[in-house]
Amino acid sequence: MRILWVGHNLAYPPKGGPLQRNYNLLREAAKNCELHVLAFDQPATRPPNLTPQDCVHALRSFCSSADWVPVAEGGKRYRLAVRGLASNDPFEFHWLKSRLMRDKLQKLLQQVDFDVVHFDTLGLAQFRYLVRNSGTVLNHHDVQSSLIARRATIESHFLRRQYWKLEAKKLRRAEQKWCPRFDVNLAVSREDEKALIESGPQIKGWVVPNGVDTDYFTPRADPGGRTLLFCGSLDMYPSIDAMSYFFNAIWPRLISQQQNIEVCVVGRKPPSWLTRLSARDHRIHVPGFVDDVRPYFRKSTALVCPIRDGGGTRLKILDSLAMGVPVIATSFASSGLCLEHEKHILLADTPEKFARSVEQVLSNKAFRQSLSNAGVEIANRVYSWTVIGRSLIEAYDAAKRSHDSRSTTNISPGDKACWTRV
């Protein structure tokens, strides 16, 4: 098959979240398909020493072609958010609206006969009307309407809470409008697939889970000790909230019982309050962004994942399982993953239970080894990217068959309306 991947990031370097998922899915798809990539460049997702051309060059090592388009950044994003208050479209549609993307996509579709066009986030659905003769796939890293609605329920600031409520309604309407217009909608879990289908029974869902590179993240020996690890993008709300919760509610309980415990918080752009806390307490280490997280996994006794907000599934849990590092997490953090409490993972939803679970793992080597063995086994059997790549190819096959079964595409002329005032 000949596939065009239209993305909202360049999937390189594959360090965390959507970039990690996208890079590995692209790599797996390229093993079975002729794969072309056209994606937005987000400067915030790549190290300063890497240019968009460097990222494109990396993708071209296994893709037939790759090209990029700049996206709105910094202050312009905030202006778009304010301007979008009067619009019926969610913020992401304004953020990803681009004449250059439209023109490059249109030209590529005229030059190459694609079997399937993959759009990697809801905001890219606005370009769907350009595709006439190919199957279509819309990917959902999370169900955005549900994610933002949940954000609104925990937001304490009145104006921000009202903004999130409004944005959640816009996203829900966008999902109801756009998802049925694609042959296949990809979700990262059964729960997300169910939530998408609730937007409209005519939506065709397909689960392509998040995964782990089991050739890269390999089992390590138990280092013993009492060192905890957290990994996440520290400029993103879910990780910031998780660390605030951990250090305000869980950490005091841990250090009241054991003075020799340590925690390492790895991730880009740590907030200033966290770096100040690290400066005051020698047991807290905040190295920031690291190019290779595996050395931190190897010397850590356990991973903590006190995530309470966000969407999709947490890739760092899967990375940890593949390396045999026991995981203590909230039920929310592990939602969407086929993990059994006290077999693959420890789940704890109160500060007291979280602290007790940490102590249970740190103090019981045999229990740690049991968790480690089960984690490595399920990571390789269920969550290897090689296994998950097959699900993606099956989804592309289904999209192609769906398109081929129709004599004409059902694209409404109204789909072009969002471009009348670009």
Structure tokens at 396: 């592309």
Which residues have CB under 8 Å from 295's CB, separation 6+?
Answer: none
The Cα–Cα gap between 117 and 136 comes to 5
Structure tokens at 336: 């969407």
Structure tokens at 120: 């990697």
pTM to 2 decimal places: 0.86
Structure tokens at 15: 């360090």
The reply to whether omega before 223 is within 30° of 0 (cis) is no
Q: 69 with 40: CB under 8 angstroms?
A: yes
The Cα–Cα gap between 280 and 175 comes to 46
SS3 237: helix
Structure tokens at 287: 């190295």
Return the closest-CA partner of residue 4 out of 41, 40, 36. 36
Top-tier CATH class for 227-382: alpha beta
CB-count burial class (<10 Å; 0-12, 13-18, 19+) for 275: middle
- Residue 422 gets which letter from DSSP? -
Question: How big is the CA angle at 400 (ends 397 and 402), to the nearest 5 degrees?
Answer: 110
Report, as ranges of residue numbers, the positions in the chain whose pLDDT lies below 50: 312, 407-409, 411, 413, 417-418, 420-422
Structure tokens at 269: 């752009």
Q: How far is CA 211 from the centre of its chain?
A: 11
Structure tokens at 280: 């005051």
Which residues have CB under 8 Å from 202's CB, separation 6+?
Answer: 180
The Cα–Cα gap between 306 and 246 comes to 7
Q: What is the 3-state secondary structure (H, E, C) of 67-96?
A: EEEECCCCHHHHHHHHHHHHCCCCHHHHHC
The Cα–Cα gap between 179 and 290 comes to 37
Structure tokens at 371: 């968790």
Return the closest-CA partner of residue 128 out of 6, 1, 37. 6
Domain boundaries, given as residue ranges, for the chain: 2-211+385-417, 227-382
Supply the CATH classification number for the domain 2-211+385-417.
3.40.50.2000
Task: Tell me phi and psi for residue 53, to 5 degrees.
Answer: -65, -35
User: Helices 365-382 and 351-363 sit at what angle, rounded to 10 degrees?
Assistant: 100
Q: 31 with 389: CB under 8 angstroms?
A: yes
Q: What is the largest CA-CA distance in the chain?
A: 70
Cα–Cα distances in angstroms (integers) from residue 94 to residues 65, 85, 144, 394, in the given order: 27, 11, 15, 32
Altogether, the residues listed in the chain come to a count of: 422
Q: Is 224 left (phi over 0), alpha (psi -120 to 50) or beta?
A: left
2-211+385-417 and 227-382 in the same fold: yes
At 97 the pLDDT is: 94
DSSP characters over 176-216:
HHHGGGSSEEEESSHHHHHHHHTT-TT--EEE----B-TTT
At 415 the pLDDT is: 55
SS3 336: coil
Which residues have CB under 8 Å from 127's CB, separation 6+?
Answer: 6, 101, 102, 105, 119
- Residue 248 gets which letter from DSSP? I
